[in-house]
Amino acid sequence: MANQSSSCPILCASFNQDNSGFAISTKDGFKIFDSNTGRLCYERSFGAFIIVEMLYSSSLLAIVGAGEQPSLSPRRLCLFNTATGAPLRELPFLTSILAVRLNRKRHLIERRTVIPLLSTFHRRLLVVLQENTYIYDSNSLAMLDTIDTVPNLKGLCAFSPSLDGCFLALPASTTKGAVLVYNVMELQSHCEIDAHRSPLAAIALSSNGTYIATASEQGTIIRVHLVSEATKSYSFRRGTYPSTIFSLSFAPSLQLPDILAATSSSGSVHIFSLGFDTNQSRSKKSISFPGLILPDYVNHALDPAHRHVLHNAVSAGVRSYAVVRKVDKAADSPEFATCRAVVSLIAYNGYFQEYAFSINNQNESSWSLEREFNLLTLVSDGAETS
State pTM to two decimals: 0.87
**What is the three-class DSSP state of 285?**
coil
> Is the pLDDT at 18 greater than 70, yes or no?
yes
Geometric angle at alpha carbon 350, from 344 and 356, rounded to 5°: 20
How confident is the model over 157-166, as pLDDT tens digits?
A: 999 988 678 9
User: For position 361, what pLDDT does the model report?
Assistant: 76
Mean pLDDT of 349-373: 92
User: For position 121, what pLDDT does the model report?
Assistant: 53
| Torsion of Cα atoms, 25 then 26 then 31 then 36, to 10° | -70
User: For position 96, what pLDDT does the model report?
Assistant: 98
User: For position 104, what pLDDT does the model report?
Assistant: 75
Nearest to 243 by CA among 189, 186, 318: 318
User: For position 233, what pLDDT does the model report?
Assistant: 85
**What is the three-class DSSP state of 336?**
helix
For all residues of the chain together, what is the average pLDDT? Answer: 85
pLDDT top residue among 363 and 269: 269
> Is the pLDDT at 66 greater than 80, yes or no?
yes
DSSP annotation of 305? G
Using 50, 70 and 90 to split pLDDT, how confident is the model at 338?
confident
Distances in Å between the alpha carbon of 208 and those of 15, 123, 166?
16, 16, 8
Sheet containing 132-137: give its strands across. 99-110, 117-128, 132-137, 142-148
> Is the pLDDT at 301 greater than 50, yes or no?
no
Q: Which of 3-7, 36-40, 110-114, 256-260 has the highest mean pLDDT?
A: 36-40
How confident is the model over 235-283, as pLDDT tens digits?
A: 999 988 999 999 999 998 766 667 999 999 999 999 998 865 444 333 3
How confident is the model over 89-108, as pLDDT tens digits?
A: 999 999 999 999 998 755 44
CA-to-CA distance for 53 and 55, rounded, in angstroms?
Answer: 7
Letter string b/e over residues 208-238, b meaning 16 or more CB atoms within 10 A of that residue's CB:
bbbbbbbbbebbbbbbbbbbbebeebbbbbb
How confident is the model over 111-134, as pLDDT tens digits?
A: 343 333 333 456 899 999 999 999
Letter string b/e over residues 306-344, b meaning 16 or more CB atoms within 10 A of that residue's CB:
bbbbbeebbeeebbbbbbbbebeeeeeeeeebebebbbb
How confident is the model over 218-229, as pLDDT tens digits?
A: 999 999 999 988
Mean pLDDT of 64-88: 94
Domains along the sequence of the chain with CATH: 12-385 (2.130.10.10)
Other beta carbons within 10 Å of 4: 10
Mean pLDDT of 167-189: 96
* Residue 138, amino acid: S
Mean pLDDT of 176-201: 96
**Contact in structure between 236 and 306 (CB atoms under 8 Å):** yes
Nearest to 259 by CA among 241, 275, 281: 275
